[in-house]
Structure formats: C-alpha cells, structure tokens
C-alpha cells in the first residue's frame, strides 16, 4: 500500500483503551480525516486539549477561485465533524458540540467535549461508524440498477435530526434534464476560466504521485500514462465540451439525483450541511450505494438562481449529488494525523 493511503488502515484494534483522553481524541481524529473534501484539500485542523478538542477551518487550503466564500471548505469540515462524532460514540464517549463557540471567530468551527463516558451507541450509529472506512467518492458511471422507494426514503430521512437541513431527491424527468443543462453550462463556463483551470490542475495528480492530498487521476478513471498529462491538460486546454458530455452521461445513468439545502446561507448552515452530507454518504455506503458531486450550478453565480428556480425552492441548495450502485473504487490519499493537529 502506498504511504499516502495508510490513513485508511485505521482499525478498532488501534483504540488506546488505557490511554489518556488526549490520546483517545487523537485516535478519533484518524476517522475524522477520512471525510470527503473539495478537491480533496482536507481543509481541517484540530487542536487537542486534555479534556476537549477544537475543530478549525484551515484557510491555507482554501480554493479561492471555485470557493471564494469558503463555503465548500466549511462543508468539508462539517463532514469531518460527523465522522468524529460517530467515532466517539462507537467507543462509548458521548460528545457535546458547540458550533462557532466564539462570536466573530469563523475559523473555530466547533468545540467538542465529553458529555458521558459510558455511552451505548445505537445500532444505526454503529453501522454508520463502520461505514466510514467503506465510503468513497465514486466519479465513475453507475449501474442501471434502480434504488427502490424505501431506500430513497431512508436516505432522505437521515438528515431529520436537523430541521433546518433537507436532502431532496429530484424525481421529475423535466427537472433532471434542466439540472443536466445547468451542469453542462457550468462545465463550459468553468473550463473557460483560466484561473479556475490552474487551481484545479494544482490539485489533480498522477496516479503514482506520493502527494497526501488532491485527486489522483485514477479517481477519474484515468490510467497511469494519461494521468501524468492530466494537470497540463486541465490547466491549458479547453475541456469544457468533453466534460459536459461526460457529466450528462453520468447524471442520466444515475438512479438518484438529489440536493442538500438549508434555510439560511451562512457559515453555521454550511457546517450543518456538511454534517448532514456525511450522514447521507455513510448511510448510502452502509447499503452499497455510492455517490459523487456535481456542484457546478452552485459554483457559478449566474447558474445558482436558475437552479433554485428549477428545483422550486426558496431555500439555499448547498450540494448536488448523484447516487447509485457502482464498482468499488480505490480510496484517495490522506494527510497524516500529525499534519492536521494544531500545535497549542
């Protein structure tokens, strides 16, 4: 196994049963860092204390072109927080979470303390914890197998613990077609933005790269040889039409197209959207369903309002997901735990 994939070998057997709370927190972080993030930037930092843990946004890993407000950055941190919570619960520690505990400090996203140390996780919490190691972002075509109505309902209701966040599935074929058109437009607009292309190219790596962040070519289905040229191709050639056609086919072949929306559009809601996202992804992974993102209509301002009209919502869509049954894909690199722990 490559060194940049070692993080995925974490095991329950590694839990420091007789270690300090600080050592246990560091162990829980090993599961937190397996969360998804935009371009796999892994934009989180943790500050470990004797009896508490702080989650920070790592703005040094921001994507100023595609994500100028750091919305997707904070959503990614919310996903990491969900993993942390399920890891703590699984090992008997009930967390108490304070979101944005310091007013006007948008870097400190959450403070986590221990409420009880003899917590008994529910069967569902155990299942979602075990799904952390199964979850992958699958950017490849899905099988044609239908996701039945009961399963769709389970995916939509997994966010019910937060009344201000909703996961909706697009059922109408006309709506799906309009969303596909918006995705295609987004691909073409982004591909013509040289700053966007350069930013993306910085985070796409050859398959055999030792980088511990970013997206290897194999995540897009590239072979080794083609993956070596992918950063140049992305950064210098006009690939919009090719990507638009590919994304059209991906959506048309996906049994489920859905979106996560919030009632407000502020950092607090972005964090909660990320937490809800990971709950959905873990639930899906636990039953063999894969997912990937098609956020182009959310990233191009001119398309955002058109998307809201298309899905007929007054809320704020935060993520656009395709879901289905697919072949197992390889995990993507992760940084070492030591690299994401903030020195006190």
User: Domains in the chain, ordered, with CATH?
Assistant: 3-136+332-340 (3.40.109.30), 149-192+238-324 (3.40.109.10)
| pLDDT at residue 160 in the model | 86
What integer is the mean pLDDT of 84-108?
96
3-state secondary structure of 68: coil
3-state secondary structure of 34: coil
- Of 42, 71, 74, the residue nearest 57 (C-alpha): 74
Distance, CA of 197 to CA of 234 (rounded, Å): 6
Do residues 131 and 124 lie in contact, with contact meaning Cβ atoms separated by under 8 Å? no
Neighbours of 330 (CB within 10 A): 12
Q: How confident is the model at residue 161 (pLDDT cuts 50, 70, 90)?
A: confident
Question: How much is the pTM?
Answer: 0.97
What integer is the mean pLDDT of 59-64?
98
Angle at which helix 224-236 crosses helix 194-202, to 10 degrees, equals 150
Give me the chain's average pLDDT, please. Answer: 96
> Which tens digit of pLDDT belongs to each residue from 217-275?
999 999 999 999 999 999 998 899 999 999 999 999 999 999 999 999 999 999 999 99
Query: From edge to edge, which strands make up the β-sheet containing 44-48?
Result: 44-48, 52-57, 108-116, 94-99
Q: How far is CA 282 from CA 55, 57, 181, in A?
A: 21, 22, 29
Cα pseudo-dihedral 125, 129, 130, 131, rounded to 10 = 100
| pLDDT at residue 2 in the model | 84
- HSE at residue 215, side-chain half, CA atoms within 13 A, is 23
DSSP structure string for 141-185: PPPS----HHHHHHHHHTTTTSTTEEEEE---HHHHHHHHHHHHH
> Which tens digit of pLDDT belongs to each residue from 325-338?
999 999 999 999 99
Q: How confident is the model at residue 136 (pLDDT cuts 50, 70, 90)?
A: very high
| pLDDT at residue 1 in the model | 73
pLDDT-above-90 percentage for the chain: 96
Task: Report the DSSP pairing between strands 108-116 and 52-57.
Answer: antiparallel
> Which tens digit of pLDDT belongs to each residue from 2-23?
899 999 999 999 999 999 999 9
Do residues 157 and 258 lie in contact, with contact meaning Cβ atoms separated by under 8 Å? no
| pLDDT at residue 343 in the model | 78
| pLDDT at residue 270 in the model | 98
pLDDT above 90 (res 129): yes
Q: How confident is the model at residue 312 (pLDDT cuts 50, 70, 90)?
A: very high
| pLDDT at residue 195 in the model | 97
pLDDT-above-70 percentage for the chain: 100
Q: Which residue has the tokens 């935009």?
A: 38
Distance, CA of 275 to CA of 29 (rounded, Å): 15
Cβ contacts of 68 within 8 Å, gap of 6 or more: none
- Of 56, 97, 85, 113, the residue nearest 267 (C-alpha): 56
């Amino acid at each position: 196994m490559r060194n940049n994939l070692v993080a995925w070998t974490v095991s329950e057997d590694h839990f420091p049963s007789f270690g300090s709370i600080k050592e246990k927190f560091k162990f829980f972080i090993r599961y937190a860092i397996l969360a998804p993030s935009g371009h796999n930037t892994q934009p989180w930092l943790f500050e470990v204390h004797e009896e508490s843990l702080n989650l920070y946004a790592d703005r040094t890993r921001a994507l100023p072109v595609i994500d100028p407000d750091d919305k997707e950055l904070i959503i990614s941190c919310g996903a990491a927080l969900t993993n942390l919570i399920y890891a703590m619960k699984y090992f008997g520690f009930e967390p108490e979470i304070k979101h944005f505990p310091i007013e006007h400090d948008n870097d400190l996203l959450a403070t986590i303390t221990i409420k009880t140390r003899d917590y008994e996780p529910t069967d569902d919490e155990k299942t979602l914890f075990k799904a952390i190691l199964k979850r992958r972002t699958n950017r490849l075509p899905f099988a044609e197998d239908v996701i039945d109505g009961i399963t769709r309902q389970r995916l939509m209701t997994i966010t019910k613990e937060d009344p201000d966040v909703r996961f909706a599935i697009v059922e109408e074929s006309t709506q799906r077609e309009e969303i596909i058109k918006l995705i295609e437009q987004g691909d073409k607009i982004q591909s013509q933005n040289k700053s966007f292309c350069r930013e993306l190219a910085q985070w796409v790596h050859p398959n055999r790269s030792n980088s511990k962040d970013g997206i290897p070519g194999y995540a897009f289905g590239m072979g080794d040889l083609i993956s070596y040229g992918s950063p140049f191709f992305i950064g210098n050639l006009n690939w919009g039409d090719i990507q638009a056609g590919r994304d059209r086919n991906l959506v048309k072949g996906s049994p489920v197209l859905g979106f996560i929306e919030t009632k407000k559009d502020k950092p607090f809601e972005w964090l909660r959207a990320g937490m809800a996202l990971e709950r959905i992804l873990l639930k899906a992974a636990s039953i063999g369903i894969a997912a990937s993102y098609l956020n182009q209509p959310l990233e191009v301002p001119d398309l955002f309002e058109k998307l809201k009209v298309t899905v007929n919502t007054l809320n704020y869509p935060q993520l656009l997901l395709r879901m289905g049954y697919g072949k197992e894909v390889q995990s993507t690199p992760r940084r070492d735990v030591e690299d994401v722990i903030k020195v006190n």
